[in-house]
Amino acid sequence: MSILGIDHVQLAYPPGGEADARHFYTVVMGFPEVPKPSAAGTGGLWFQAGAAQVHLSPEEGFRASQKAHPAFVVDDLAAYRARCSTWRDANPIAGRARGHTVDPFGNRIELIAASASSTATPG
């Protein structure tokens, strides 16, 4: 018995935030929007890049978590850092550079360089 991977990450946003979600996840993060299967119910948005999916659902009384977050491995950390309106560098782990941004709703998003050789980030 073993876990083989992560299928998706579920995040919430305040009702009415679809346009901001689409902009951030498609333009800034590079996740194309994908059709949500009818079996998944109504409301919300789905995005996918490679095998990673992000599912977003509106939530009444939404409040972003300060700690919980997805972490995505990226091929060009410096390029993502430049595209994010907020950025906080984090200490490298296993020689790989990383940092945090937030989506338009305050959901924390971690980005990690794919390899130790991609550790340089602009100051």
Question: Domains in the chain: how many in total?
Answer: 1
pTM of the model: 0.88
Q: What is the CATH number of the domain that holds 42?
A: 3.10.180.10
In a domain, 3, yes or no: no
In a domain, 123, yes or no: no
Q: What is the dihedral of CA 75, 78, 81, 82, to 10 degrees?
A: -120
Whose tokens are 């305040």? That residue is 14
Flag whether 41 is in a domain. yes
Q: Per residue in 14-46, pLDDT tens?
A: 999 999 999 999 999 999 999 998 888 888 999
Residues 6+ apart with CB under 8 A from 39: none
Residue 61 maps to a domain: yes
Is there a domain that residue 1 lies in? no
Tell me, yes or no, whether 76 lies in a domain: yes
| Residue 33 lies in domain | 8-118
